[in-house]
Amino acid sequence: MPLRCVDASLVVAWLVPSQRSMPVEDVWLAYAQGEDEYVAPPLLPAETLSAIRRLTSRGLLSQEEASGLVTDFLSLSIPMLAPAGLYQHAYALATRYHHSTVYDTCYLALAELLSCDLLTLDQRLYNAVKQDYPAVRLVG
């Protein structure tokens, strides 16, 4: 079963029905059916919950919907891994690709350290690294 790193953009797109697309559903179906195994760095919960909160504060989700999504997210069994060197590598990647935030490159660093694909909807990150990292897959 292939191991894949997933980022918050993909998780939020799967959780929030208005953001879900067929490609997103396809990658989550592979996970649900046990065809793929997902991992993420420990920042996934904070980033995902922040995105849900942001959608709620903008009036795109009701408080009830948001609470349900938080429950749904917390019930997912995505292992959070922080292997030695993760944060140093993420910082080096952010510097190399002139990325102003390290949290996005944490996902890339984890995927590289685990030699697995990174599944993302982050077009900016994908465009910055696609030449050097063919294992970064833009979903959709």
Longest dimension (CA), the chain: 42
Domains of the chain: 3-138 (3.40.50.1010)
122 — pLDDT class (breaks 50, 70, 90): very high
- Rounded alpha-carbon distances, angstroms, from residue 11 to 38, 48, 73, 96: 11, 7, 8, 26
Cα–Cα–Cα angle for 140, 11, 76, rounded to 5 degrees: 140
> 44-78: per-residue pLDDT in tens?
999 999 999 999 999 999 999 999 999 999 999 89
> 13-51: per-residue pLDDT in tens?
999 988 889 999 999 999 999 999 999 999 999 999 999
Half-sphere exposure of 28 (CA within 13 A, CB side): 21
Query: Length of the chain, please?
Result: 140
Residue 52's φ and ψ, nearest 5 degrees, are -65, -45
* Amino acid at site 21: S
